């Protein structure tokens, strides 16, 4: 476990850079709890965000880097998801809960937005394939 605000700027920047390069897949397991793909096929690590008694953000990941006191790219990759969960939870404390929205899933198991049949990554792949098809028909 590491206090997020006590991590070195260099450690956080390195984690963000690696997360952007690898773009690991992540699954939401619950509030502040995520499963994130490692750099090797089939490898996954659980990342957990919480607040200590002083209201400081604490992050814990099962990966070797995080256990050495560093902010890892797994935590960096899902930090934005946790920020969204936390914002929704804070907003929900002052508002009535909205009606549940049915969730659709892509063939890979990730949730999809709106009326799409694909997650973001697969929607991009489909769009690229469509552009290639249109270019081939036009040529």
Render pLDDT for 56-83 as a digit per residue (tens, 0 to 9). 888 888 988 877 777 888 988 888 788 8
Return phi, psi of residue 60, to 5°. -135, 135
Domains of the chain: 2-94 (3.30.310), 104-138 (no CATH)
**CA-wise closest residue to 76 among 65, 86, 87:** 65
Q: What are the tens digits of pLDDT across the range 15-41?
A: 888 888 888 888 999 888 999 999 899
What residues pair up with 105 in beta bridges, in sequence order? Answer: 111
pLDDT confidence band for 11 (50 / 70 / 90): confident
- Which secondary structure element, helix H or strand E, spans residue 9, and what is its range? helix 9-22
**Per-residue pLDDT at 88:** 83
**CB contact at 8 A, 26 and 37:** yes
Q: Which residue has the tokens 């081939």?
A: 136
The position carrying tokens 């394939």 is 129
Cα 46 from Cα 135, distance rounded (Å)? 42
């Amino acid at each position: 476990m590491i206090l997020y605000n006590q991590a070195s700027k260099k450690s956080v920047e390195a984690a963000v850079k690696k997360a952007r390069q690898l773009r690991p897949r992540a699954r939401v397991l619950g509030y502040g709890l995520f499963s994130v793909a490692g750099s090797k096929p089939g490898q996954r690590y659980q990342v957990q965000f919480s607040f200590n008694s002083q209201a400081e953000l604490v992050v814990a990941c099962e990966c070797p880097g995080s256990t050495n006191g560093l902010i890892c790219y797994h935590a960096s990759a899902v930090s934005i998801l946790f920020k969204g969960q936390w914002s929704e939870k804070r907003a929900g404390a002052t508002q009535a809960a909205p009606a549940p929205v049915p969730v659709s899933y892509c063939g890979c198991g990730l949730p999809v937005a709106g009326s799409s049949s694909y997650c973001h990554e697969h929607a991009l792949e489909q769009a690229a394939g469509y552009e290639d098809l249109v270019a081939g028909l036009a040529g």
